[in-house]
A and B are shown apart, each in its own frame.
Chain A
Amino acid sequence: MTVRKNQAQLTATEKRRFVDALLELKRTGQYDTFVTTHNAFIMSDTDNGDRVGHRSPSFLPWHRRFLLQFEQALQAVDPAVALPYWDWTVARTPRASLWAPDFLGGTGRARDGQVMDGPFARTGNRWTISVRVDGRDYLRRALGAGGRQLPTRAEVDSVLAMETYDMPPWNSASDGFRNHLEGWRGANLHNRVHVWVGGHMATGASPNDPVFWLHHAFIDKLWADWQARHPRSTYLPAAGTPDVVDLNDTMRPWNDVTPADMLDHTRHYTYDTAA
C-alpha cells in the first residue's frame, strides 16, 4: 500500500528516488502530457459553463484522480515512490528543506525568475519547459515575492470547520468547504499557495513545477481530514445539476470514474498521520 508522507520527513534516499522518477517521466514525455491535461481543463472550466477540474465541486475528486494517475506513472518507473505532501502551514519560508538543492531547488533569480539550482534548473538540461504560454523554456519561481504569506494553520482549521461540502451555484462564488479550500472565497488556501510560489505555479500550466504535486497532495489530505471531522457530510450535489459533476456522474477526461469512486482515499493510499 502506498503511504504518502510529509515531504519534511523524507530521507535523502526517498528524495533522490522521487526526483529521479520525475526526471524519467520528463525524459520520456509522459510528464508533459499531465501539464497539457491540466492546462486544458483550467482554460475550459468556467463559472457559468461546463466545469470539472476547477471552480466546481469536482475540484477535489478530479485532482485526487489526476494525482493517482501521476503517482501510478511514477511507480511504473520506481515502485517504491509515493507522492509526498507539502504542509505549507509549517514549511512556510523559502528556507524550508523542500527548496534545497537536493530536492526541488530554490526560488528564481531576480533578473528573469529562473530557478538556478536543484534537479529542475534549466542549466542541468533535464527540465525543459515545453508546454508553455510564453517563449521561456526554463522553470521559474518567485517564492513569497512581494511579502506574500502562506496560509496559517488557524486559517486551515477555520476552513476545515465548515460542515457543508459545497453549495449552489457550485462555482467560484460558492460558500462551503470546497470553495474556501480552493480559495476563490474567504481565507484563500489552495489558490494563494500557487500565487506564493509564483512563476509557472501561478499559471494554467502549473504542473510544470514539481511542487504542484506536493501542494495538491496536501490539499487532498485536507479533504481527507475534513471527511474525518465531518463523517455525516458528503460530496454535493447529489444529482441533476447542469454543467456540474454530480456524485455519480463520470468525470472527464477519464469518463470511467465518479466523485463517489474517489471519496475513500484508503482504497488507493494512506497518509503517514491519522486524519
Chain B
Amino acid sequence: MSRITRRRALGVAASAAAGLAAGRALTAPAQAVAAPAHLGAGPETFDEIVMGRRIQGGPSHGDGHHGGHGAEHGSGYSVRIDGEELHVMRNADGTWISVINHYEPLATPRAVARAAVRELQGAPLVPVATA
C-alpha cells in the first residue's frame, strides 16, 4: 500500500516540477506556483496499516467535520488514525510532533503517526473530550 502511495506522491511531485519549469518559460499559472511550494513545504503522503491500524497523512484541504486542525496551524497537512484526525504540528526545523507525543520531535508525520499508534496501545483516538 505504501509503495503505491509513494509512487503517486512522486508522480505529483514530478508534474509539479514540470509545471514550475513551464512557469519559468511562460507566465506561471497560479496552481503551478502553489503546488511545488506546497509539496516542498509538506512531507510525503502516506496510507498504511501499522499494528492493525490505518494511518494516513497528506495535505489537508480544510474541509470535513474535523475543521482542519492542520490548516489552523498553517501546517497544511493532516494525519488520521483509523479515520480520526491526529493533531500534528511542524516545528521550525522541519521535525514533527503530535498531541500524543508533544515533547519529542520526530523526522516525519509518518513517524509521528506510528509513534502515536504505539502509544495508543489499541485505544481509539477521540477529539479532545472535556466530559
Q: Which residues of A contact B (CB under 8 A)?
A: 32, 36, 39, 42-44, 46-49, 55, 112-113, 130-136, 169, 171-173, 183-184, 190-192, 194-195, 202-206
CA distance A194 to B102 in the complex (A): 9
Q: Which residue of B lies closest to A191 (CB)?
A: B103
Q: Which residue of B lies closest to A32 (CB)?
A: B130
- Of B69, B91, B125, most buried by chain A (CB within 10 Å of CB) is B91
B92 A130 Cβ-Cβ under 8 A: no
Chain B: how many interface residues by the 8 Å CB criterion?
Answer: 29
A48 B128 Cβ-Cβ under 8 A: no
Q: Which residues of B contact A (CB under 8 A)?
A: 69, 72-75, 87, 89-93, 99-105, 119-121, 123-126, 128-131
Contact among B72, B91, B103, B121 with A112 in the assembled complex (CB-CB below 8 Å): B121
Q: Which residue of A lies closest to B127 (CB)?
A: A133
A191 B73 Cβ-Cβ under 8 A: no
A131 B130 Cβ-Cβ under 8 A: yes
- 6 residue pairs bridging A and B, Cβ less than 8 Å apart: A39-B128, A43-B69, A172-B91, A172-B93, A203-B100, A203-B101
Question: Which residues of chain B have C-beta atoms less than 8 A from A206's C-beta?
Answer: 102-103
What is the minimal beta-carbon distance from B105 to any residue of chain A, in angstroms? 7
Question: Which residues of chain B have C-beta atoms less than 8 A from A36's C-beta?
Answer: 128, 130
Contact among A47, A173, A191, A204 with B104 in the assembled complex (CB-CB below 8 Å): A191
A134 B73 Cβ-Cβ under 8 A: no
Given A112-B121, A134-B125, A202-B104, CB of A48 within 8 Å of CB of B99: no
